[in-house]
Structure 1
Amino acid sequence: MTEEEIKKSIDKHSVKPLIFVVIMMLLIALLNNYLLEDDPLSPNLLIFGALAAGIHIFKNVLCDVLVTKSAQNGSEYANFSIKIQREDVDAIFTLDEFARIFDEEALTHIDTHATPEIFERFLGKSYQQSEAPYVCYFYDSDYRGRALPRYQDESGEVCEVIELLSPDEKFAINIEIWDGGETDVSLTMCRPLSDIVDLFPGANS
Protein backbone atom coordinates (compact mmCIF):
# COMPACT_ATOMS: atom_id res chain seq x y z
CA MET A 1 0.00 0.00 0.00
CA THR A 2 1.45 3.38 -1.01
CA GLU A 3 1.84 6.42 1.25
CA GLU A 4 -0.91 8.19 -0.68
CA GLU A 5 -3.28 5.23 -0.20
CA ILE A 6 -2.54 5.18 3.54
CA LYS A 7 -3.37 8.91 3.75
CA LYS A 8 -6.65 8.32 1.91
CA SER A 9 -7.46 5.43 4.24
CA ILE A 10 -6.85 7.63 7.29
CA ASP A 11 -9.04 10.37 5.81
CA LYS A 12 -11.80 7.87 4.97
CA HIS A 13 -11.92 6.33 8.45
CA SER A 14 -11.47 9.61 10.37
CA VAL A 15 -14.71 11.36 9.39
CA LYS A 16 -17.20 9.61 11.70
CA PRO A 17 -14.88 9.45 14.76
CA LEU A 18 -14.06 13.17 14.42
CA ILE A 19 -17.76 14.04 14.15
CA PHE A 20 -18.38 11.90 17.25
CA VAL A 21 -15.66 13.74 19.22
CA VAL A 22 -16.94 17.19 18.15
CA ILE A 23 -20.53 16.32 19.12
CA MET A 24 -19.28 14.96 22.43
CA MET A 25 -17.35 18.20 23.10
CA LEU A 26 -20.41 20.33 22.33
CA LEU A 27 -22.68 18.14 24.45
CA ILE A 28 -20.35 18.23 27.46
CA ALA A 29 -19.95 22.03 27.12
CA LEU A 30 -23.73 22.46 26.86
CA LEU A 31 -24.44 20.30 29.91
CA ASN A 32 -21.72 21.91 32.03
CA ASN A 33 -22.73 25.48 31.14
CA TYR A 34 -26.50 25.19 31.47
CA LEU A 35 -27.55 22.10 33.40
CA LEU A 36 -24.66 20.96 35.56
CA GLU A 37 -23.00 24.18 36.66
CA ASP A 38 -22.61 22.99 40.26
CA ASP A 39 -21.42 19.50 39.37
CA PRO A 40 -19.88 19.57 35.86
CA LEU A 41 -19.05 16.44 33.93
CA SER A 42 -15.45 15.27 34.14
CA PRO A 43 -13.24 16.04 31.12
CA ASN A 44 -12.14 12.42 31.37
CA LEU A 45 -15.26 11.53 29.36
CA LEU A 46 -13.90 13.53 26.43
CA ILE A 47 -10.48 11.92 26.80
CA PHE A 48 -12.00 8.43 26.75
CA GLY A 49 -14.10 9.36 23.73
CA ALA A 50 -11.05 10.68 21.86
CA LEU A 51 -9.10 7.51 22.70
CA ALA A 52 -11.96 5.32 21.46
CA ALA A 53 -12.08 7.32 18.22
CA GLY A 54 -8.32 6.98 17.77
CA ILE A 55 -8.47 3.21 18.30
CA HIS A 56 -11.34 2.95 15.81
CA ILE A 57 -9.33 4.82 13.16
CA PHE A 58 -6.19 2.78 13.85
CA LYS A 59 -8.08 -0.53 13.65
CA ASN A 60 -9.64 0.27 10.28
CA VAL A 61 -6.47 1.69 8.74
CA LEU A 62 -4.58 -1.39 9.97
CA CYS A 63 -7.09 -3.57 8.10
CA ASP A 64 -6.57 -1.57 4.90
CA VAL A 65 -2.76 -1.69 5.16
CA LEU A 66 -2.05 -5.22 6.37
CA VAL A 67 -5.11 -7.34 5.82
CA THR A 68 -6.73 -9.02 2.87
CA LYS A 69 -10.25 -10.14 3.66
CA SER A 70 -11.48 -13.53 2.46
CA ALA A 71 -14.67 -15.47 2.99
CA GLN A 72 -14.77 -19.08 4.20
CA ASN A 73 -18.01 -20.82 5.14
CA GLY A 74 -19.80 -17.49 5.41
CA SER A 75 -17.23 -16.00 7.83
CA GLU A 76 -14.67 -13.28 7.21
CA TYR A 77 -10.97 -14.05 7.63
CA ALA A 78 -7.88 -11.86 7.56
CA ASN A 79 -4.68 -12.88 5.74
CA PHE A 80 -1.52 -11.59 7.46
CA SER A 81 1.66 -11.90 5.36
CA ILE A 82 5.36 -11.47 6.01
CA LYS A 83 7.99 -11.40 3.26
CA ILE A 84 11.02 -13.67 3.72
CA GLN A 85 14.50 -13.64 2.19
CA ARG A 86 16.46 -16.32 0.32
CA GLU A 87 18.32 -17.41 3.45
CA ASP A 88 15.00 -17.77 5.29
CA VAL A 89 13.66 -20.00 2.49
CA ASP A 90 16.76 -22.16 2.79
CA ALA A 91 16.43 -22.40 6.58
CA ILE A 92 12.72 -23.29 6.50
CA PHE A 93 12.41 -25.52 3.42
CA THR A 94 15.97 -25.87 1.96
CA LEU A 95 16.58 -24.33 -1.46
CA ASP A 96 16.60 -27.71 -3.22
CA GLU A 97 13.17 -28.60 -1.82
CA PHE A 98 11.77 -25.17 -2.64
CA ALA A 99 13.11 -25.31 -6.21
CA ARG A 100 10.77 -28.24 -6.93
CA ILE A 101 7.90 -25.74 -6.98
CA PHE A 102 9.36 -24.22 -10.15
CA ASP A 103 10.69 -27.42 -11.73
CA GLU A 104 7.80 -29.87 -11.42
CA GLU A 105 4.94 -29.88 -13.91
CA ALA A 106 2.50 -31.33 -11.36
CA LEU A 107 1.19 -29.35 -8.38
CA THR A 108 3.94 -29.52 -5.76
CA HIS A 109 3.78 -30.73 -2.15
CA ILE A 110 6.54 -29.56 0.23
CA ASP A 111 7.20 -30.00 3.95
CA THR A 112 8.51 -27.49 6.47
CA HIS A 113 11.97 -28.67 7.57
CA ALA A 114 12.56 -26.10 10.32
CA THR A 115 10.51 -23.50 12.17
CA PRO A 116 12.54 -20.42 13.11
CA GLU A 117 11.04 -18.71 16.16
CA ILE A 118 10.53 -15.43 14.32
CA PHE A 119 8.27 -17.15 11.74
CA GLU A 120 6.61 -19.86 13.84
CA ARG A 121 3.20 -18.15 13.85
CA PHE A 122 3.25 -17.97 10.05
CA LEU A 123 4.20 -21.56 9.28
CA GLY A 124 2.27 -24.77 8.67
CA LYS A 125 3.81 -28.24 8.75
CA SER A 126 3.29 -28.89 5.04
CA TYR A 127 1.94 -27.20 1.92
CA GLN A 128 0.26 -28.25 -1.31
CA GLN A 129 0.26 -26.11 -4.43
CA SER A 130 -3.40 -25.14 -4.84
CA GLU A 131 -3.48 -24.33 -8.55
CA ALA A 132 -1.28 -23.76 -11.58
CA PRO A 133 0.69 -20.49 -11.71
CA TYR A 134 -1.37 -17.53 -12.87
CA VAL A 135 -0.65 -14.01 -14.06
CA CYS A 136 -1.70 -10.86 -12.22
CA TYR A 137 -0.99 -7.15 -12.49
CA PHE A 138 0.17 -4.61 -9.91
CA TYR A 139 -1.08 -1.03 -10.25
CA ASP A 140 0.51 1.64 -8.06
CA SER A 141 -2.69 3.70 -8.05
CA ASP A 142 -5.91 3.99 -6.09
CA TYR A 143 -8.68 2.25 -8.05
CA ARG A 144 -11.36 2.50 -5.40
CA GLY A 145 -14.49 3.79 -7.08
CA ARG A 146 -13.29 3.00 -10.60
CA ALA A 147 -12.76 -0.12 -12.66
CA LEU A 148 -9.37 -1.74 -13.15
CA PRO A 149 -7.99 -1.69 -16.73
CA ARG A 150 -9.24 -4.68 -18.73
CA TYR A 151 -5.88 -5.11 -20.48
CA GLN A 152 -2.25 -4.61 -19.50
CA ASP A 153 -0.98 -1.07 -20.02
CA GLU A 154 2.12 0.91 -19.10
CA SER A 155 0.77 1.73 -15.63
CA GLY A 156 0.67 -1.93 -14.54
CA GLU A 157 3.47 -4.35 -13.65
CA VAL A 158 2.92 -7.99 -14.57
CA CYS A 159 3.92 -10.89 -12.32
CA GLU A 160 3.34 -14.63 -12.12
CA VAL A 161 1.85 -15.92 -8.86
CA ILE A 162 2.23 -19.38 -7.29
CA GLU A 163 0.28 -20.26 -4.14
CA LEU A 164 0.61 -23.22 -1.78
CA LEU A 165 -1.79 -23.94 1.10
CA SER A 166 -1.50 -25.97 4.29
CA PRO A 167 -4.00 -28.87 4.63
CA ASP A 168 -6.18 -26.85 7.05
CA GLU A 169 -5.90 -23.72 4.82
CA LYS A 170 -4.72 -21.66 7.80
CA PHE A 171 -1.29 -21.04 6.28
CA ALA A 172 -0.02 -20.27 2.79
CA ILE A 173 3.11 -19.58 0.78
CA ASN A 174 2.74 -16.85 -1.83
CA ILE A 175 5.37 -16.55 -4.56
CA GLU A 176 5.48 -13.57 -6.95
CA ILE A 177 7.80 -13.76 -9.97
CA TRP A 178 8.32 -10.34 -11.53
CA ASP A 179 9.58 -9.28 -14.94
CA GLY A 180 13.33 -9.88 -15.02
CA GLY A 181 13.15 -12.87 -12.67
CA GLU A 182 12.98 -11.05 -9.32
CA THR A 183 11.07 -13.32 -6.94
CA ASP A 184 9.23 -12.38 -3.73
CA VAL A 185 8.24 -15.08 -1.23
CA SER A 186 5.75 -14.41 1.57
CA LEU A 187 4.40 -16.54 4.42
CA THR A 188 0.72 -16.01 5.17
CA MET A 189 -1.47 -16.96 8.10
CA CYS A 190 -5.27 -16.85 7.93
CA ARG A 191 -7.10 -15.72 11.07
CA PRO A 192 -10.75 -14.85 11.84
CA LEU A 193 -11.38 -11.14 11.36
CA SER A 194 -12.71 -11.12 14.93
CA ASP A 195 -9.06 -11.32 16.12
CA ILE A 196 -8.65 -7.64 15.25
CA VAL A 197 -11.90 -6.76 16.97
CA ASP A 198 -10.71 -8.60 20.10
CA LEU A 199 -7.46 -6.60 20.09
CA PHE A 200 -9.07 -3.23 19.29
CA PRO A 201 -12.73 -3.50 20.33
CA GLY A 202 -13.61 0.17 19.83
CA ALA A 203 -16.18 2.31 21.60
CA ASN A 204 -19.27 0.27 20.78
CA SER A 205 -18.01 -3.10 22.11
Structure 2
Amino acid sequence: MSFFKSLFAKKQPVPTRTLSHASELQIKDIFTFGDSFALPQAMRKMQLQVTDINTLEFKHSHYAQIIAQGSGSQLVYLSFPDNPQKMIKYSLLLTRSEVEALFDMDDFSEIFEQPGHARLTPITKNHPYADMVAEEYIQQDFMTTGYFHRQDYRNSTPPQFNEDSHGQEFEYYSLQGDQEKRFIDIFIFENGDTDVYLSFLRPANEIAELWAKDE
Protein backbone atom coordinates (compact mmCIF):
# COMPACT_ATOMS: atom_id res chain seq x y z
CA MET A 1 0.00 0.00 0.00
CA SER A 2 2.81 2.41 0.85
CA PHE A 3 4.24 1.80 -2.67
CA PHE A 4 0.99 2.94 -4.36
CA LYS A 5 0.68 5.91 -2.01
CA SER A 6 4.14 7.13 -2.96
CA LEU A 7 3.56 6.40 -6.66
CA PHE A 8 0.42 8.49 -6.91
CA ALA A 9 1.29 11.12 -4.33
CA LYS A 10 1.36 14.67 -5.61
CA LYS A 11 4.82 15.84 -6.51
CA GLN A 12 5.93 18.58 -4.15
CA PRO A 13 6.90 21.83 -5.88
CA VAL A 14 10.62 22.60 -6.01
CA PRO A 15 11.37 25.61 -3.79
CA THR A 16 11.94 28.74 -5.86
CA ARG A 17 15.16 30.65 -5.13
CA THR A 18 14.48 34.16 -3.88
CA LEU A 19 16.79 37.14 -3.53
CA SER A 20 16.78 39.60 -0.65
CA HIS A 21 20.07 41.42 -1.34
CA ALA A 22 22.33 42.13 -4.31
CA SER A 23 25.13 40.14 -2.69
CA GLU A 24 23.08 36.99 -3.39
CA LEU A 25 22.98 37.51 -7.16
CA GLN A 26 24.09 34.64 -9.37
CA ILE A 27 24.93 34.49 -13.08
CA LYS A 28 21.83 35.11 -15.25
CA ASP A 29 19.91 36.76 -12.40
CA ILE A 30 18.33 40.12 -13.22
CA PHE A 31 18.08 43.37 -11.25
CA THR A 32 16.76 46.86 -11.85
CA PHE A 33 18.12 50.15 -10.53
CA GLY A 34 15.70 52.68 -9.09
CA ASP A 35 15.14 56.18 -10.45
CA SER A 36 17.27 58.02 -7.87
CA PHE A 37 18.93 61.14 -9.24
CA ALA A 38 22.00 60.14 -7.25
CA LEU A 39 22.60 57.50 -9.92
CA PRO A 40 24.22 58.34 -13.27
CA GLN A 41 22.14 57.97 -16.40
CA ALA A 42 24.06 54.78 -17.23
CA MET A 43 22.38 53.11 -14.23
CA ARG A 44 19.13 54.97 -13.53
CA LYS A 45 16.05 52.76 -14.08
CA MET A 46 18.18 50.30 -16.04
CA GLN A 47 17.48 46.57 -16.01
CA LEU A 48 20.61 44.42 -16.10
CA GLN A 49 21.52 40.74 -16.11
CA VAL A 50 24.49 39.25 -14.28
CA THR A 51 27.03 37.99 -16.80
CA ASP A 52 29.98 37.08 -14.57
CA ILE A 53 31.13 36.90 -10.95
CA ASN A 54 34.78 37.35 -10.01
CA THR A 55 36.69 37.67 -6.74
CA LEU A 56 39.13 40.40 -5.67
CA GLU A 57 41.59 39.12 -3.06
CA PHE A 58 43.83 41.20 -0.83
CA LYS A 59 46.10 40.08 1.99
CA HIS A 60 43.48 40.14 4.73
CA SER A 61 40.20 40.15 2.81
CA HIS A 62 38.40 39.12 -0.35
CA TYR A 63 35.07 40.06 -1.86
CA ALA A 64 32.92 39.42 -4.91
CA GLN A 65 32.78 41.55 -8.03
CA ILE A 66 29.50 41.07 -9.90
CA ILE A 67 29.41 42.14 -13.55
CA ALA A 68 26.10 42.98 -15.19
CA GLN A 69 24.94 44.29 -18.56
CA GLY A 70 21.73 45.88 -19.81
CA SER A 71 20.46 46.37 -23.33
CA GLY A 72 23.57 48.32 -24.38
CA SER A 73 27.30 47.66 -24.18
CA GLN A 74 27.82 49.42 -20.83
CA LEU A 75 28.92 47.07 -18.04
CA VAL A 76 28.10 47.83 -14.42
CA TYR A 77 30.20 46.38 -11.60
CA LEU A 78 28.93 45.68 -8.08
CA SER A 79 31.35 44.81 -5.31
CA PHE A 80 31.05 44.35 -1.58
CA PRO A 81 34.13 45.60 0.33
CA ASP A 82 33.80 45.98 4.10
CA ASN A 83 32.39 49.35 5.17
CA PRO A 84 30.52 50.39 8.35
CA GLN A 85 27.28 51.23 6.53
CA LYS A 86 27.24 47.92 4.57
CA MET A 87 26.87 49.84 1.32
CA ILE A 88 27.55 48.44 -2.14
CA LYS A 89 30.31 49.80 -4.33
CA TYR A 90 28.88 50.57 -7.77
CA SER A 91 31.51 51.01 -10.49
CA LEU A 92 31.91 51.84 -14.16
CA LEU A 93 35.04 50.95 -16.12
CA LEU A 94 36.47 54.04 -17.82
CA THR A 95 38.07 54.12 -21.24
CA ARG A 96 41.32 56.02 -21.69
CA SER A 97 39.47 58.84 -23.45
CA GLU A 98 37.03 59.11 -20.52
CA VAL A 99 39.93 59.35 -18.05
CA GLU A 100 41.52 62.06 -20.19
CA ALA A 101 38.21 63.96 -20.32
CA LEU A 102 37.87 63.91 -16.52
CA PHE A 103 41.41 64.56 -15.31
CA ASP A 104 44.60 66.36 -16.18
CA MET A 105 46.91 63.51 -17.18
CA ASP A 106 50.01 65.06 -15.61
CA ASP A 107 48.15 65.15 -12.30
CA PHE A 108 46.83 61.64 -12.89
CA SER A 109 50.35 60.28 -13.43
CA GLU A 110 51.30 61.35 -9.88
CA ILE A 111 49.15 58.50 -8.58
CA PHE A 112 51.91 56.08 -9.65
CA GLU A 113 54.82 58.06 -8.19
CA GLN A 114 56.20 57.57 -4.69
CA PRO A 115 55.21 58.23 -1.97
CA GLY A 116 51.67 57.87 -3.34
CA HIS A 117 50.12 61.06 -1.96
CA ALA A 118 48.39 62.32 -5.08
CA ARG A 119 45.49 64.76 -4.93
CA LEU A 120 43.26 64.89 -7.98
CA THR A 121 40.64 67.44 -9.00
CA PRO A 122 38.35 66.77 -12.00
CA ILE A 123 38.77 69.28 -14.81
CA THR A 124 35.10 69.20 -15.84
CA LYS A 125 31.63 68.56 -14.43
CA ASN A 126 30.17 68.15 -17.90
CA HIS A 127 30.44 64.39 -18.06
CA PRO A 128 27.95 61.50 -18.44
CA TYR A 129 29.08 60.13 -15.07
CA ALA A 130 29.15 63.50 -13.27
CA ASP A 131 26.91 62.21 -10.46
CA MET A 132 29.65 59.73 -9.50
CA VAL A 133 32.51 62.24 -9.49
CA ALA A 134 33.92 63.85 -6.32
CA GLU A 135 35.06 67.45 -6.02
CA GLU A 136 38.54 66.20 -5.07
CA TYR A 137 40.24 62.84 -4.59
CA ILE A 138 42.99 62.01 -2.10
CA GLN A 139 45.14 58.92 -2.63
CA GLN A 140 44.80 56.03 -0.17
CA ASP A 141 46.45 52.96 -1.77
CA PHE A 142 49.82 52.80 -3.52
CA MET A 143 51.11 49.58 -5.10
CA THR A 144 48.93 47.36 -2.90
CA THR A 145 49.26 43.76 -4.09
CA GLY A 146 46.14 41.72 -4.80
CA TYR A 147 44.86 38.86 -6.92
CA PHE A 148 42.00 38.68 -9.39
CA HIS A 149 40.11 35.37 -9.60
CA ARG A 150 37.68 34.51 -12.37
CA GLN A 151 35.73 32.48 -9.84
CA ASP A 152 33.11 33.12 -7.19
CA TYR A 153 34.57 32.58 -3.70
CA ARG A 154 31.72 34.06 -1.68
CA ASN A 155 31.12 30.78 0.10
CA SER A 156 34.70 29.57 0.24
CA THR A 157 38.27 30.76 0.66
CA PRO A 158 40.35 31.66 -2.40
CA PRO A 159 43.85 30.22 -2.78
CA GLN A 160 46.11 31.55 -0.06
CA PHE A 161 47.77 34.88 -0.71
CA ASN A 162 51.25 33.39 -1.16
CA GLU A 163 50.43 30.12 -2.97
CA ASP A 164 51.42 29.36 -6.56
CA SER A 165 47.77 28.73 -7.40
CA HIS A 166 46.78 32.33 -6.82
CA GLY A 167 44.80 34.30 -9.40
CA GLN A 168 46.07 37.03 -11.68
CA GLU A 169 48.29 39.39 -9.69
CA PHE A 170 47.73 43.14 -9.78
CA GLU A 171 48.91 46.38 -8.20
CA TYR A 172 46.04 48.36 -6.69
CA TYR A 173 45.88 52.15 -6.42
CA SER A 174 42.90 54.00 -4.98
CA LEU A 175 41.76 57.55 -4.27
CA GLN A 176 38.84 58.65 -2.11
CA GLY A 177 36.65 61.72 -2.14
CA ASP A 178 33.43 63.15 -0.70
CA GLN A 179 33.44 61.64 2.82
CA GLU A 180 34.93 58.38 1.56
CA LYS A 181 31.90 57.75 -0.65
CA ARG A 182 33.43 58.28 -4.11
CA PHE A 183 36.49 56.52 -5.47
CA ILE A 184 38.91 55.99 -8.29
CA ASP A 185 40.05 52.35 -8.31
CA ILE A 186 43.00 51.37 -10.49
CA PHE A 187 44.25 47.84 -11.17
CA ILE A 188 47.53 47.28 -13.04
CA PHE A 189 47.96 43.62 -14.00
CA GLU A 190 51.13 41.61 -14.56
CA ASN A 191 50.80 41.89 -18.34
CA GLY A 192 50.52 45.68 -18.19
CA ASP A 193 46.75 45.90 -18.68
CA THR A 194 45.30 48.75 -16.63
CA ASP A 195 41.68 49.08 -15.49
CA VAL A 196 40.43 52.42 -14.14
CA TYR A 197 37.05 52.41 -12.39
CA LEU A 198 34.91 55.32 -11.30
CA SER A 199 33.14 54.08 -8.18
CA PHE A 200 30.85 55.21 -5.41
CA LEU A 201 29.27 53.69 -2.32
CA ARG A 202 25.50 53.71 -2.28
CA PRO A 203 22.85 51.86 -0.24
CA ALA A 204 21.63 48.48 -1.41
CA ASN A 205 18.15 49.97 -1.97
CA GLU A 206 19.42 51.79 -5.07
CA ILE A 207 18.57 48.42 -6.60
CA ALA A 208 14.78 48.45 -6.73
CA GLU A 209 14.09 44.87 -7.83
CA LEU A 210 15.85 41.51 -7.90
CA TRP A 211 14.84 38.44 -9.90
CA ALA A 212 16.36 35.00 -9.55
CA LYS A 213 16.74 33.27 -12.90
CA ASP A 214 15.04 29.86 -12.84
CA GLU A 215 17.30 26.97 -13.70
TM bracket (short chain) = 0.5 to 0.7
Q: Distance in 2 between matches of 1:195 and 1:89?
A: 25
Q: Distance in 2 between matches of 1:59 and 1:168?
A: 28
Q: How far does residue 137 in structure 1 lie from its aligned partner after superposition?
A: 0.7
Q: Aligned to 1:121, what secondary structure does the other structure show?
A: helix
| Structure-to-structure mapping, 1:143-154, within 5 angstroms | 143-150=153-160, 151-154=162-165
TM-score normalised over the length of structure 2: 0.59
Match of 1:98 among 108, 113, 116: 108
Q: Which has the higher strand share?
A: 2
Match of 1:117 among 127, 138, 153: 127
1:39-94: CA deviations, max 9, x gaps?
xxxxxxxxxxxxxxxxxx63497695442234544x32111100111111111112
- Does 2:201 match 1:190? yes
Q: Is 2:94–2:197's contact at 8 Å kept on the other side of the alignment? A: yes
The residue that corresponds to 2:38 in the other structure is none
Q: Residues 106 and 71 of structure 1: is their aligned pair in 2 closer, same or farther, counting only changes over 3 Å?
A: closer
Unmatched segments (≥5 aa) in structure 1: 1-14, 20-56
Q: Which has the larger radius of gyration?
A: 1
Q: Aligned to 2:131, what secondary structure does the other structure show?
A: helix
Q: Residues 70 and 193 of structure 1: is their aligned pair in 2 closer, same or farther, counting only changes over 3 Å?
A: farther
Q: Distance in 2 between matches of 1:192 and 1:129?
A: 23
Q: How far does residue 180 in structure 1 lie from its aligned partner after superposition?
A: 2.7
Q: Residues 59 and 106 of structure 1: is their aligned pair in 2 closer, same or farther, counting only changes over 3 Å?
A: closer
Of structures 1 and 2, the one scoring higher in RCO (CA 8 A, sep 6+) is: 2
Moved over 4 A (4+): 60-64
Q: Distance in 1 between matches of 2:183 and 2:17?
A: 38
- Does 2:141 match 1:131? yes
- Does 2:172 match 1:200? no
Once the two structures are aligned, what percentage of the paired residues are identical? 24
The residue that corresponds to 1:108 in the other structure is 118
Q: Which has the higher helix share?
A: 1
